Amino acid sequence: MSARSRRHRRSDLVALAIAAPTIVVFAAFSWWPIVLGALMSFQRTTFIGPVDWVGWDNFVYVLEDPQLGQAVVNTLWFTALAIVFGFPLPLALAVVISTVRARARGAYAALAYFPVIVPPVVAILLWRFAYDPAPTGLFNSALRPLGVGPFAWLNDAALAMPSIVLQATWAAAGTSVLVYLAALTAVRPELYEAATLDGAGVWGRIWHVTLPQMRTIILIMLLLQLIGAAQVFTEPFLMTSGGPQNATLTVLLLMYRYAFGGSADYGAATALGVLLALVLAVLSTVYLRLTRRWQE
Q: Is 282 part of a structural domain of the chain?
A: yes
Same domain, 134 and 15: no
Provide the pLDDT for residue 34.
87
Q: How far apart are CA 136 and CA 114, in angstroms?
A: 27
Question: pTM for the full model?
Answer: 0.86
Same domain, 141 and 33: no
Same domain, 144 and 183: yes
Q: Which of 258, 221, 218 is nearest to 71 (CA)?
A: 258
Same domain, 9 and 86: no
pLDDT one digit per residue (tens) for the chain, 296 residues: 566 666 667 777 777 888 888 888 888 888 888 888 888 889 888 777 778 888 899 999 999 999 999 999 999 999 999 999 888 888 888 888 888 877 788 888 888 899 889 998 899 999 999 999 998 889 999 998 888 878 999 999 999 999 999 999 999 888 999 888 888 887 777 777 777 777 777 677 777 777 778 888 888 888 999 999 999 999 999 999 888 889 999 999 999 999 888 778 888 999 999 999 999 999 999 988 888 777 65
Same domain, 63 and 94: yes
Provide the pLDDT for residue 231.
92
Same domain, 70 and 106: yes
Same domain, 232 and 146: yes
DSSP letter string, 206-223 = IIIIIHHHTHHHHHHHHH
Burial of 16 (0-12, 13-18, 19+ CB in 10 A): exposed
Q: Which residues contact 14 (CB under 8 A, 6 or more apart)?
A: none
Residue 152 lies in domain? 55-295
The count of structural domains within the chain is 2
Provide the pLDDT for residue 51.
80
Q: Is 121 part of a structural domain of the chain?
A: yes
Same domain, 103 and 233: yes
Q: Is 46 part of a structural domain of the chain?
A: no
Same domain, 108 and 226: yes
CA distance to 15, 222, 289, per residue, from 180 (Å): 33, 12, 23
Q: Which residues contact 59 (CB under 8 A, 6 or more apart)?
A: 41, 271, 274, 275
Provide the pLDDT for residue 5.
66
CA diameter of the chain: 84
Provide the pLDDT for residue 70.
94
Q: Is 50 part of a structural domain of the chain?
A: no
pLDDT tens digits, one per residue of 228-238:
999 999 999 99
Amino acid at 174: G
Q: Is 287 part of a structural domain of the chain?
A: yes
CATH code for the domain in which residue 213 is found: 1.10.3720.10
Same domain, 144 and 23: no
